[in-house]
């Protein structure tokens, strides 16, 4: 496991060369942003899982077409068949049935295959990759799923591309957010900060924008920004 300052570089390398990668870090740090290609987005397919997500929704089901029913691939099968990157967000929240179904696609390239409800067996495209993201530790994953991850990377600071984008959205904002992550208990959300920048660019006063974007942390964050000269 890695927690060093080169974690983002390591993640880029892992996603490029490995088949199944697990990425752990706080919300808004840039896990999905990176998995989808960062500032150069790819045609990755993203899943946001919950305990209410059902297998048919992900893998496929029959849909009416005229006077008959035809089988329609779900996003998992589409990525598996076409060799796209599948980004699986918050796998730990999925139901047991969904986790069991995903085991088949996360197996080795040689073994991975899916038998669909219509009887077709689909083998893994050689370019298929999966990136699992988690706000928690990889230790919270089911052992069988954890075992299928070729690499686990722990991220402790926001993606440099997000910091750059925040600086472009509002001068100095990205650098202030980056520095706040040195103390994980005081980390400023990147998502909230993009909302703050949007409000400020619309002419909303700083204190009002902070309340809308940062809620109960508004005063603390506003004070931090003012100390850094970020208006």
Domains of the chain: 7-154 (3.40.50.300), 160-227 (no CATH)
pLDDT at 41 (0 to 100): 58
- CA 171 to the chain's CA centroid: 26
* Strand partners for 151: 21
pLDDT at 4: 45
Give the pLDDT of residue 206.
95
Question: Which pLDDT value is given to residue 62?
Answer: 86
Residue 40: what pLDDT? 59
The DSSP annotation for 129-186 comes to EEEEEESS-GGGS-HHHHHH-SEEEE--S--HHHHHHHHHHSTTHHHHHHHHTTSGGG
Residue 12 phi, psi dihedral angles, 5° rounding: -55, -45
Distance from first CA to last CA of the chain, Å, rounded? 39
Q: How confident is the model at residue 135, as a pLDDT?
A: 87
Count the residues in the chain: 231
Q: How far apart are CA 84 and CA 171, in angstroms?
A: 36
**What secondary structure letter does DSSP report for 46?**
E
Q: What is the mean pLDDT of each run of 10 residues along the chain (231 residues)?
A: 67 93 91 77 86 94 85 94 94 91 92 89 94 86 90 92 95 96 91 97 97 96 93 82
CB 47 within 8 A of CB 98: no
Bridge-based pairing state of the strands 151-154 and 113-115: unpaired
Distance CA 21, CA 17 (A): 10
> Edge to edge, what strands does the sheet with 45-48 contain?
45-48, 85-89, 129-134, 20-24, 151-154
Give the Cα separation of 88 and 35 in Å (integer): 10
């Amino acid at each position: 496991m890695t927690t060093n300052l080169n974690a983002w570089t390591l993640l880029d390398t892992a996603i490029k060369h490995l088949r199944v990668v697990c990425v752990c870090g706080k919300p808004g740090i840039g896990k999905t942003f990176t998995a989808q290609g960062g500032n150069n987005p790819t045609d990755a397919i993203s899943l946001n899982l919950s305990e209410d997500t059902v297998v048919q929704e992900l893998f496929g089901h029959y849909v009416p077409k005229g006077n008959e029913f035809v089988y329609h691939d779900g996003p998992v099968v589409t990525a598996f068949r076409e060799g796209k990157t599948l980004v699986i967000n918050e796998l730990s929240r999925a139901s047991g049935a969904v986790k069991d179904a995903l085991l088949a696609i996360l197996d080795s390239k040689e073994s991975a295959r899916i038998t669909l409800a219509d009887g077709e067996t689909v083998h893994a495209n050689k370019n298929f990759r999966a990136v699992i993201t988690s706000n928690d530790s990889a230790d919270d994953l089911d052992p069988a799923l954890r075992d299928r991850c070729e690499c686990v990377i722990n991220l402790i600071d926001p993606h440099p591309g997000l910091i750059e984008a925040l600086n472009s959205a509002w001068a100095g904002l990205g650098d202030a957010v980056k520095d706040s992550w040195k103390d994980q208990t005081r980390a400023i959300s990147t998502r909230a900060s993009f909302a703050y920048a949007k409000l400020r660019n619309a002419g909303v006063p700083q204190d009002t924008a902070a309340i809308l974007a940062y809620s109960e942390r508004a005063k603390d964050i506003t004070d931090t920004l003012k100390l850094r000269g970020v208006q």
